[in-house]
Amino acid sequence: MTAAASSDTVSGHTGDKVTTTRAAPTDRPAMPGVFGPIPADLVADTATEHPLTERVPLRPGRWYWRDLIATLDPVADAAEIHRITSAYEFPWDYQRALELALYRTYCIPSVSAVLEEAGEFRDHPQKRYDDTSLLMAELVEHGYDSPRGKEALRVINRQHARYEIANDDMLYVLSTFIYEPLEWIDATGWRRLHPTERLAAFHFYRAVGERMNITGIPEDIGEFRRWRDDYEARTMRYDRNNELIGTYTLDLMCSWYPAAIRPAVRAVVLSLVDEDMTRAFGFPWRPPARRKAAFAALRARSRVVRWLPVRRRELGARGTENRTYPGYPEGYRPADLGACPIRVRDRSDICPVPHGAGDRALK
């Protein structure tokens, strides 16, 4: 290994097996940020972070990314595989599926009770949505062990530490981030997922869960799915807090569109919600034909996407729709996000939690 690479940072071939690693960051100056200077190690440079996707052949073919993923290791290369799947192959599908995954977690009374207590969905729903989307995008785009990934995890852990949250609830939310996108894409995506992509998603989020101090994460993808199903059977039921959080979120989704079409948007969202979720939210019953029509429309979209050129540019944090942080990620770092950001801001919404020496070190 040369001096230009860190101990685990090479991209190349070992026999017929491709390995992915991260090149060492070059010397970069700090850049000005919205809330203060951003250190050089938090200034993203995808060319050094992801050499495997830096250069794409001139005529790669529609199956280029799938064929590349098939050569990778679903455990050792989990983060890179998941980044390619979610940011190159299925960015729109992953965003919609993760929205539905979060929506599903609100059907658990112990989860919705914490969210209603926090009040963010009631008082600042758009910011709450944007913070979650961008923090997850940071983990996927840069990796959980990168400087930006570590800072994103610190923000996530700091936020969760403010409330009494059961480990099983954290474990359940983690499971939805794995299985909802896998099932969505297999049902409506322009192609089915490669087995390596499925395993990589599992190992990626399992590693994220470990760094969030979630205990008891199953070591097998099938075992974790069985645990999730059992947990839902035991806990998913109607509760007033479910209905409140579900309604706040539904109203937020409708607010993104002109008033004239909001009733149609509401009908589409409710059509994508399955019967178990409908009962847990206390939403009006929808005829099965409407759900079939909604998924038929999604599959029709995918038949068009299948013939589009292979995506050459990553849609990570830049491609995540948000209305709270203009121009993100330019001028921002993960510590700027969240209801209680790590860095004290020169604004009226200063974090009420005391900041210790460890927090001051990040400023």
DSSP string, 139-182: HHHH-TTSHHHHHHHHHHHHHHTTS---HHHHHHHHHHHHHHHH
Q: Which two tokens stand for residue 162?
A: 């403010």
Band (pLDDT 50/70/90 cuts) for residue 104 is: very high
What percent of the chain clears pLDDT 90, i.e. is strictly above it?
Answer: 69
What is the tens place of the pLDDT at every residue in 108-152? 999 999 999 999 999 999 999 999 999 999 999 999 999 999 999
What is the token pair recorded at 98?
């993760």
pLDDT tens for 251-274 read 999 999 999 999 999 999 999 999
- CA-to-CA dists, residue 311 to 55, 156, 267, 272, angstroms: 12, 30, 31, 27
pLDDT for the residue 343: 64
Q: In the prediction, which pLDDT does 41 show?
A: 85
- Report the C-alpha gap between 134 and 262 in whole angstroms: 25
pLDDT at 360 over 60: no
In single-letter form, the type of residue at position 94 comes to: Y
Can you give the pTM of this predicted structure?
Answer: 0.85
What's the pLDDT at 28?
Answer: 63
Q: pLDDT tens digits, residue range 218-237?
A: 999 999 999 999 999 999 99
pLDDT of residue 241: 97
Tell me the pLDDT of the chain averaged across its residues: 86
Specify the pLDDT at position 347: 44
The model's pLDDT over 183-195, given as tens digits with 9 standing for 90+, comes to: 999 999 999 999 9
Q: Residue 107 — very low, low, confident or very high, per pLDDT cuts 50/70/90? A: very high
Extract the tokens encoding 36. Answer: 């203060």
Range 298-309 average pLDDT: 95
What band does 356 get if pLDDT is binned at 50, 70 and 90?
Answer: very low
Secondary structure (3-state) at 361: coil
CA 319 to chain centre: 12
Window from 161-175, 214-228, 328-342 with minimum mean pLDDT: 328-342
- The residue count of the chain comes to 363
Cα–Cα distance, 249 to 132 (Å, whole number): 13
DSSP 5: S
At residue 12, what are phi and psi to the nearest 5 degrees? Answer: -175, -155
Is the confidence at residue 297, as pLDDT, over 50?
Answer: yes
HSE, side-chain direction, 13 A CA sphere, residue 178: 29
151: tokens are: 């800072």
Residue (of 334, 51, 53, 82) closest to 206 by Cα position: 82
Instruction: Specify the pLDDT at position 354.
Output: 42
- For the chain, how big is the Rg over CA atoms in Å? 21
H or E, element range at 115 = helix 109-118
Q: Which residue has the tokens 């399992």?
A: 206
Average pLDDT over residues 325-348: 77
Q: Quick one: pLDDT band at residue 14, thresholds 50, 70, 90?
A: very low
DSSP result, 252-294: HHHHTS-GGGHHHHHHHHHHHS-HHHHHHHTPPP--HHHHHHH
Note whether 141 and 314 are within 8 A (CB): yes
**Cβ atoms of 252 and 206 closer than 8 Å:** no
Amino acid at 107: C
What is the model's pLDDT at position 267?
Answer: 93
